[in-house]
Structure formats: C-alpha cells, structure tokens
Amino acid sequence: MKFFKVKTVEETFTLIEEMIPGIREMETRPLEDALHCILAEPVVAHENVPAFDRSTVDGYAVYAKDTYGSTESMPGFLTAAGEVNMGEEASRAVARGEAIYVPTGGMLPPGSDSVLMIEHCEEIGGLLNTYKQIAPGENVIRAGEDIRAGELLLEAGIRLRPQELGALAALGITHVRVYREIVAAYLSTGDEIVPYETERLEAGQVRDINYLTVSGLAQEWGIKVIYGGITADDYEGFSSRARELFEQSDLLILSGGSSVGAKDYTTEVIQSLGDPGVFVHGISIKPGKPTILAVAGGKPVIGLPGHPASAMIIFRLFGERVARKLKGEILKSKPERIYARMAKNIASAPGRADYIRVSLSEKGGEWWADPIIGKSGLITTLVKSDGIVEILSEKEGVLQGDYVPVILSK
C-alpha cells in the first residue's frame, strides 16, 4: 500500500479543489422548487427589466428642463395634462410645458424624462405649480436599468438564493437548468456500534449517532443520505456492503474504522473501489486526525473518524467543501467563517490545526468566543457550542482578545 504523509488543513482544501469532480447531469426545475440548487447553464436576459421607464415616486412626469429655475418662492408653472393609471400604458405623451400624474411604479409617458414628487408641486385648477427643479432621470428607473436584454444575468455554478429566483422571475423565466440532486450513502463500521434505535445497550456497546449528525449536516447542504447500516469489522462483509452503497450513491461516507488499529480495513476497502483512490490519509488537525478522503471512479469517498464530535467537525469542515464541489458549485469567497475575539488564551501545538468549540456572545458590537469545557469526544460539547474556532497550524495558540475565524453552526 502507498505510504501516506499526513496533510495540513490547507493542503487538504487544495486537494479537495483539485480532486473532487462536479457532477454534470442536469435537470429542469420549476423556479419554486429550485432554491439552493446549482445553476447548470448561464442565464442571459432576453428582455429588459423593467420593460419600461418607471416612476419611483408618486408625482408628475415632466421634461426636466421645464422645471429649471423653480423654487419654493419662485414656482414654475406647467399644464396638468391628465394621469397614467397603474399597470396601463401611458398613452398620451407629455408635451413641452405639460405634466402628467404618475403613481409609484407607473409608466412614464413619452416625452417626459423625470418625475417631480407630489411633495414638490401643487395642482390648482389644471395648473401645476412646481417648487423645485429636477434633473433628467430623477425619480425614474429606466427600462433595462435593473436587467438589460442581452446581459449575462447569472453564471453557471452559482447557488440559487431567493434573490436569484426573484431576478429570474422578473424575466418571466419559470424553469431553470440545474445540476441534479446528490445522494450520499452512509456506512458505519465498528464492533461496538449498534443502531441508534437500540433501546437497551449491552455492556460495551454505543449507539451510531454519527448517522444523525452527518445526515443532518448533509441535509443542510441539500443532500439526501441513504442509511447503509453498520458493517462488522471483517474485510469481505465491509467491502461488499461498501461497494453496494458506493454504486447506489454519488458520495460514500464511512464512519469509524479509520484509526490505525488491528482491525482497520477502511483504507483497503476504499482503495478497492476504484482509481485514483485515497488522496488524503490523515490530517494534522485536532480533533479528527484519522480522516480519509478519496475519489474512486469519479465519486468521492470520505472516511470519518469514529468519535462523534470529531466526525461532525471533520464533516462540517471538509465534507461541506466536498459536497459543494460535487454539486457543481463554483466556490466564491463568502463568509463561511466569521471573526470573533477569543475570550481566553488558547494554546495550540505548532504544525497542527486546532478546532475549538465555542459559545458566542455579543459585547460592545463584537462577537466574543468562549471555549467550551469538556473532553473533545463529547457530543454535548457541540450541543453547547455556537461554532468552531479555527487555529491554523502556523500559530502556537491565540491570546485573549485576538481575532479568530469561527465556523458557525447553521
């Protein structure tokens, strides 16, 4: 077997970016069912938004020059020449010296180039007194000012947030091409592990809680997880079950069994699934050192440490990157991490990245991160935490008051 050198967190991120393929199969979805899907094809606008010049205020559509010189004490005078109804075409043009009433959002009549707010004029018997001069374009959104016909509205690879759905709807687009949904499969290993539904534990047994934390996180990323059960620690059984699940899914997640123990078949099983195989075997990180990342025949495989807290932190940290890359998302610089100030001094071994569970509180317009006390294997330390502080390997720890990046719980 290949010899694997433990990777740093940064090296692991780079390798994920290089090694994990994005799926290419697309599907068409109605807009209402496309939230957080990844756009598979760019969207070019086929029309202007808005489709016509619109007023942004209640007021009078005018030719701006006709208001020049108007002040409170020296008003100008225009002829009030009717009004535009909401949702209707402005049929009559504004001639020089005229003004036509337009409500907020209404269509500007031809001939006008701006709207004088009702607060700045007064209609008296067919005559409009203007108390303010305005500039061309004032209080108007021009046709195409929001979206211009022909422009690239959305690139392929972006995640559709509510605002992207809104922008698509503005163009009357009802369906989008997105990458299809991802299905992951989860398989647990370990002679001590029993299904979490087990009512009474025998001595020495523990429940398989990683399935709940892993599938919960995956669900937050829009990924469905098939529960593959628990395999015993024998190579044949483990290997055939893993292959079965691997073939049913886009991403195989193995929990436990990745520590270097006598009964550790995980690496062997993963290597048997296809090439190129394992590309990360061990990360200089605490918790979660015995982590495995692989690609076999174009599908990612993640080997998580068995400790519940480690498994969850590792999956949050690396699993999310793997998942987003696999889903076809173009990863942009976005605040996955926020900054907070550390409430206590924290020591850290140089050459190793430490992930410290913290609770957050707001003080003086800043977030402060307070480390959670308790052994790192305890799931309740995660229950008590709002996020995880990242202390990267070049640091020997952080001092009270230092700014630190925090990965938030959703």
Footprint on residues 39-58 left by a copy of itself (CB under 8 A):
49-52, 54, 56, 58
Q: Report if residue 385 touches a copy of itself, rule: CB under 8 A.
A: yes
Contact set for a copy of itself, span 232-261 (CB under 8 A): 233, 259, 261
Q: Give least dist CB 97 to a copy of itself, A.
A: 24
Closer residue to a copy of itself, CB minimum distance, 296 or 314: 314
Tokens of 155: 């690139």
Cβ neighbours, 10 Å, residue 408? 16
Query: Omega into 50 within 30° of 0, i.e. cis?
Result: yes
205 versus 248: smaller Cβ distance to a copy of itself:
205
Q: Which is nearer to a copy of itself, 26 or 194 (CB)?
A: 194
The count of residues interacting with a copy of itself (CB under 8 A) is: 104
CA dihedral (103, 106, 112, 117) positive or negative: positive
80 contributes a contact to a copy of itself by CB under 8 A: no
Q: Among 2, 236, 347, 362, which residue sits at the site for a copy of itself (rule: CB under 8 A)? A: 362
Q: Where do runs of H (alpha helix) occur along 272-387?
A: 308-314, 320-326, 379-383
Q: Is 405 in the site for a copy of itself (CB under 8 A)?
A: yes
Buried b (16+ CB within 10 A) or exposed e, 13-39: eebbeebbeebeebeebebeebebbbb
- Relative to beta strand 98-102, strand 114-117 is unpaired
Q: Which residue do the tokens 């918790």 mark?
A: 287
Residue 386 within binding range of a copy of itself, rule CB under 8 A: yes
Q: How far is the CB of 362 from a copy of itself (least distance, A)?
A: 6
Instruction: Write out the binding residues for a copy of itself, residues 207-236 only, by CB under 8 A.
Output: 207-217, 219-220, 233
115 is a contact residue toward a copy of itself (CB under 8 A): no
In angstroms, give the least distance from the CB of 215 to a copy of itself. 7
Sites for a copy of itself among residues 287-316 (CB under 8 A) = 306, 308, 312
Tell me if residue 38 falls in helix, strand or coil: strand
Q: Does 174 bind a copy of itself (CB under 8 A)?
A: yes
Instruction: Confirm if 305 and 289 have CB atoms less than 8 A apart.
Output: yes
Q: What is the largest CA-CA distance in the chain?
A: 97
Residue whose tokens read 């969207």: 43
- C-beta of 325: minimal distance to a copy of itself in Å? 19
Residues linked to residue 294 through DSSP beta bridges, in sequence order = 278, 301
Closest alpha carbon to 64 in 83, 81, 78: 78
Contacting a copy of itself (CB under 8 A), which of 133, 378, 397, 407? 378
Q: Are 326 and 251 in contact (CB under 8 A)?
A: yes
- Per the CB < 8 A criterion, the answer to whether 150 and 44 are in contact is yes
- Identify which of residues 279 and 368 has a Cβ nearer to a copy of itself in the complex: 368
Q: CB nearer to a copy of itself: give 121 or 295.
A: 121
Backbone dihedral angles phi then psi of residue 308, each to the nearest 5 degrees: -55, -45
Work out which of 20, 81, 116, 167 binds a copy of itself, going by CB under 8 A: 167
| Size of the chain in residues | 410
According to CB under 8 A, which residues from 316 to 345 bind a copy of itself? 333-335, 338-339
Find the binder of a copy of itself among 6, 15, 35, 156 (CB under 8 A).
35
For the CB of residue 123, give the shortest distance to a copy of itself in the complex, in Å. 14
Q: Which stretch binds a copy of itself (CB under 8 A): 3-11, 17-25, 138-146, 270-278?
A: 138-146
- Angstrom distance (rounded) from CA 213 to CA 383: 11
Instruction: Quote the least distance from Cβ 26 to a copy of itself, whole Å.
Output: 21
